[in-house]
Amino acid sequence: MALCTEISLRNQVIYSIYVRNHTMEGTFKAIEKDLDRIKALGTDVIWFLPIHPIGVEGKKGSLGCPYAIKDYRKVNPEYGTLEDFQHLVEAIHKKDMKCIIDVVYNHTAIDSVLAKEHKEYFYKKEDGSLGNKAGDWADVIDLDYQNKALWDYQIETLKMWAKLVDGVRCDVASLVPLAFWLEARSEVEKIHPGFIWLAESVHPGFVKYVRHLGFNACSDSEVYQAFDITYDYDIWDEFVAYIEGKATLTSYITALKKQEVIYPSNYVKLRCLENHDQARIKQRVQDEKALKNLTAFMYFQKGTALIYGGQEVEAEHTPSLFEKEPINWETGHDLTHLLQALYNIKKQDIVAKGNYELEAYDEAHIVVGSYQTKEQILVGLFTLKGKEACVKVPLQDGSYINLISKEKVEVTGGLLKTFGEPIIISHTINE
């Protein structure tokens, strides 16, 4: 973990936007019209998927992938001008939100500016051609960080953007040398103190695979030395296995609990149910109560919460990265009120600083979680299959208010009954 990482990031919510498909227009200007609604959901940070020009050579689909970047220092003209983006960032700041952009430093488009002007910056295969170290990414070519001149170019680019935005989400950060990230963070901090560093750390299986090929791949623990937040892909397989009925709830919760001891005490994980690389959670989970409980549990977990644009209306289709597929904003139930209630709970100081505990009840498919300080206890009960059940909670008998629904709930004999809705209770100790 970066020594200067603020654990208050655990109180934050990030909203992720793919400009091409967030609106019918697919432009920076069109997004400005949606900022009030995004802010009202309970949003602290807006993260834009790559905003740069897209390569044409070897492109995927009819429009190409935003992660095949042609020029790190320009914006995609399909989205608008640099001035349009600057105006959008100013509008975000006026609404007391921050803005982070995607940084894709493992590779560029085949026809990128760097590939044309600095072939010495790129990885060469045995036959001397440009390509990938690992993965079947036919529309990109890998960079070679053994060339220190590349470091200078990339860091200067980061410093350029740091004068405008508040942080970066770094694509496959685990495959870029840690030493580079450490130097980049140090240099950017001089330009923009408090800059947010979010790493797309990768699945453990992919780390092992890349290392087997003889290349660099950092574990989450290594990545944390330079970054504030890492992905929760270290437990993603356990999460999906549980959702799909292939593993017990205990196996998933055990993986979550392990994070408490294998990472530094100020660790921050990015908690999500979906993102642009994963299936929509509504596609995986159709039951309405189960979906509400999973959403509430995601917010309750220790870490920064992520909402991918469209998730708040239970969108089932994950927009293609390579085509124009605007989000259908009139799809499922509107979760706005739930997200707003969860956001207010997320902002409580105890969620960043309290002692964190989780307990799984396999038969009932319930997780009981808690945060505790000397003065307060925050208890969450999440029935992940949306069923009625009675479970043990760390609260004295009595009446309490569910902070989500504002309804009264009763603890009797140390047991709390749920009728399938998520419950979060705050109690002052020794009151």
**Full DSSP string of 148-196:** HHHHHHHHHHHHHHHTT-SEEEETTGGGS-HHHHHHHHHHHHHHSTT-E
Return per-residue pLDDT of the chain as tens, 431 residues.
Answer: 456 899 999 999 999 999 999 999 999 999 999 999 999 999 999 999 999 999 999 999 999 999 999 999 999 999 999 999 999 999 999 999 999 999 999 999 999 999 999 999 999 988 989 999 987 778 999 999 999 999 999 999 999 999 999 999 999 999 999 999 999 999 999 999 999 999 999 999 999 999 999 999 999 999 999 999 999 999 999 999 999 999 999 999 999 999 999 999 999 999 999 999 999 999 999 999 999 999 999 999 999 999 999 999 999 999 999 999 999 998 778 999 999 999 999 999 999 999 999 999 999 999 999 999 999 999 999 999 999 999 999 999 999 999 999 999 999 999 999 999 999 999 998 75
pTM of the model: 0.97
Q: Give dist(CA 406, CA 422) in Å, integer.
A: 12
What is the phi-psi region of residue 249: left when phi exceeds 0, alpha when psi lies from -120 to 50, beta otherwise? alpha
Which residues, other chains included, contact 38 with Cβ-Cβ below 8 Å and sequence gap of 6+? 15, 46, 97
The amino acid at residue 199 is: A
Q: Are strands 229-231 and 269-271 parallel, antiparallel or unpaired?
A: parallel
Distance in angstroms (rounded) separating the CA atoms of residues 301 and 230? 14
Alpha carbon distance 90, 249 (integer Å): 44
> With 0-12 CB in 10 A as exposed, 13-18 as middle and 19+ as buried, what is 167?
buried
